[in-house]
Amino acid sequence: MSFGIPFFPQEASSEASQVDALFYTLLAFSAVLGLALTGLVVGYAVKYRVGSPADRTGQRSRNMWLEMSWTIASLIIAFIFFGWGATLFVRRDHPPADALEITGLGKQWMWEFRQPGGQREINELHVPVGKPVVVSLAAQDVIHSFFVPAFRIKQDAVPGRTTHIWFIATEPGHYHLFCAQYCGTQHSEMGGWVTVMAPEQYAAWLNSQGEGETLAASGEKLFRVLGCSGCHGASSKVRAPALEGIFGRPVALENQQTVIADERYLRDSILIPKKEIAAGYEPVMPSFDGLIDEGELQMLLAYLKSLSPQPSAGTKP
């Protein structure tokens, strides 16, 4: 920018230009109103200074019509900005169905990502240009926040739950990735780079990283290592619910209630199995709380999700 002084951040996602349109409209509105008020106050201060010859007759300390009109005008303007901001915001909950799903794990003090093909990255994230990307976020220890200024997006990663953020990168390049939620000693060093590449280059990059194991594949291994398959497998002696296609399906519970098997349900069922017991089964499953970490939990969830035909998990709020 001018003389190397940054005035405006780069715009590198489909979201960025839309957020900026609202931002600059607000900026223009604020500048006009702020400067008008400043002009008014300065103007009055000069015109009506002590000893000035200005006309002071007909002064009133109340003007109902004026007060009503500025109240109503403020309301209308406020509601316009509210509606605009909210419309852009609710799209956060609705990622496109064909989005690339990347998992992100925040821990003190680094970001760990795993590409759909299983390639792992630390404090680096490679994404293709022009393709929707969903990042499912989890946190190992404290709250972190995934923030890419050039994309105008931010989402906290909260321990004990999975959150999502999605974007479509539009400009190839190298962009800052920050942790925006204060997370302890090295908070300001927790970050890195998001690299946006043309699809061919992205594909080439993925290949150069080697055919890593996908998250779901690691999850499947873990599923066997931890002994889950011993009960949930097709040929097991212990009667446990089959997990094929479970994700996104309603599950009848012992207490006559029904829940949708979303990420929250699966997470709780692994860590706190006695909380919601599927109807018709004995509450015999042990808790894996403390035995697996947040990263391993992400693998198991990815594996369970991969057993379902649904294309994407990002639609769950």
Contacting other proteins within 62-101 (CB under 8 A): 62-63, 66-67, 70-71, 74-75, 78-79, 81-82, 84-86, 88-90, 92-93
Does the footprint of other proteins cover residue 227 (CB under 8 A)? no
> How far is C-alpha 89 from the chain's CA centre?
11
Give me the DSSP letters along 221-274: HHHHHTTHHHHHSTT-SS-----TT-TTSEEEBTTS-EEE--HHHHHHHHH-TT
Asked if 244 touches other proteins (CB under 8 A), the answer is no
149 binds other proteins per the rule CB under 8 A: yes
Name the nearest CA neighbour of 154 among 268, 265, 9: 9
- Does 237 sit near other proteins (CB under 8 A)? no
Contact status: 30 vs other proteins (CB under 8 A) = yes
Residues 286-315 that bind other proteins (CB under 8 A): 287, 289-290
CA distance 175 to 150: 7
Indicate whether 18 belongs to the interface with other proteins (CB under 8 A): yes
Tell me if 2 contacts other proteins by CB under 8 A: no
> Cβ distance 186 to 108 under 8 Å?
yes
Instruction: Report the nearest approach of other proteins to the CB of residue 231 (Å).
Output: 18
Does residue 273 contact residue 283 with C-beta atoms inside 8 Å? yes
The one among 115, 119, 136, 145 contacting other proteins by CB under 8 A: 145
- Listed ranges 117-125, 172-180, 195-203, 224-232: which one lies at the site for other proteins (CB under 8 A): 172-180
Looking at beta carbons only, is 69 or 310 nearer to other proteins?
69
Peptide bond into 84 cis (omega under 30): no
